[in-house]
Amino acid sequence: MALQIVRSDITIMDVDAIVNPANPLPEYGAGIDAAVYKAAGVKDLLEARSKIGEVVPGQAFVTDGFKLPAKYIIHTVGAPWQGGALHEEDTLRACYRQVFKLALKRGVESLAIPLLGSGSYGFPKGIALRIALSEIYAFLGGADMSIFLVVFDKKSYLLSAELYGDIDAYISENYVEDTLEVEYGDDRRRGPRVRYEMAECCMAPARDYEEDADFEPCDEETMLAAEPEIGDKPRSLDEVVKNLDKTFMELVYMFADRRGLTDAEVQRRANIDRKAYSKLKCGTTKNPSKSTALALAVALELNIDETKDLLSRAGLALSPCSKGDLIVQYFIERGAYDIYQINVALFEHGEKLLGAGV
């Protein structure tokens, strides 16, 4: 179905199965492994584990969940990181593949999995994340399952500097609220008129600010000046006029046809639940949420100009006062359309993730 990144204790996840990074010997180790045994019931789980015996790295096995909310525990044994020369990455990939194979065999529809290898096995978190995202993405390309990548705390997930370089600098340079705070102070920053002028003047007619008689909308020159230049390819006037009457989903179909993408490919690339995407197609959900609209823009590899056009069909717009919008814009401007990596950046900055539901 879709991948979601959540900050939680994996032992309390209400899913069909959780994944436990297990000890190769029939005993439990530190970290998540110990927490799973404690939550499931040490005596019962050790008894089940003893029947399995020693497990070689890259393999997995299943036990009951016992006292856990999850019905099953899928245990997998990784390999300690030793610099990458001993095929550690291959072993970690094998762990994911074995886990998914066993999950399918047991009819699992929802699976919670930690960032394998990044704990006591010592994988650099950037490498562990790259492997996790690529294996999950490949699996979801041919399977219908909800996967939750579970992170216990924020401190263990600080990856921006390693994966994205200047993303925080980009946010600082473009985030309107930060600029307002420096130039006008907290009172001006929090004023409703300022938020409306900066975030919505070019998006929609006034709603909650009608009594503000001094408000003046942006003129054409201001709107054009606000358009980002990086990565944009301006459309012709004929193209703009030709597409004026298209609905949100009609525009989605048009872009999908241009890129040779099927409905299934768009849904998967957008990280959208299949049922939710069907509701959009059938018109049950007339307008999507902003996270879903942006997910589709990423899936269709739209540039900023096209993204704004698509959002406008659902009454939405990119806002310079939204860190989440700026993060998505950062990736689009750089032609980086991996929705899972975008969601990692959004997750790390405490913003709503793209896709999953409408």
Strand partners, 60: 76
Token pair recorded at residue 292:
């879903």
> Packing angle between helix 304-312 and helix 290-299, nearest 10 degrees?
140
Neighbours of 357 (CB within 10 A): 17
d(CA 347, CA 5): 7
Distance of CA 190 to the CA centre of its chain: 29
d(CA 311, CA 133): 27
Asked if residue 205 lies in contact with residue 275, where contact means CB atoms within 8 angstroms, the answer is no
In terms of DSSP H, where are the helices of the chain? 32-40, 42-50, 88-105, 125-140, 160-164, 167-174, 176-190, 192-200, 220-226, 237-242, 248-259, 263-269, 274-282, 290-299, 304-312, 323-333, 339-348
Q: In what order do the strands lie in the sheet with 146-151?
A: 2-7, 146-151, 110-114, 17-21, 72-76, 60-64
Active site residue ranges: 33
Token pair recorded at residue 201:
């003047």
d(CA 307, CA 98): 38
- Rounded alpha-carbon distances, angstroms, from residue 99 to 2, 12, 62, 112, 193: 17, 19, 9, 11, 53
Which of 311, 315, 9, 2 lies closest to 150 in space, CA to CA? 9
- Rounded alpha-carbon distances, angstroms, from residue 55 to 52, 59, 75, 79: 8, 7, 10, 11
H or E stretch at 26: none
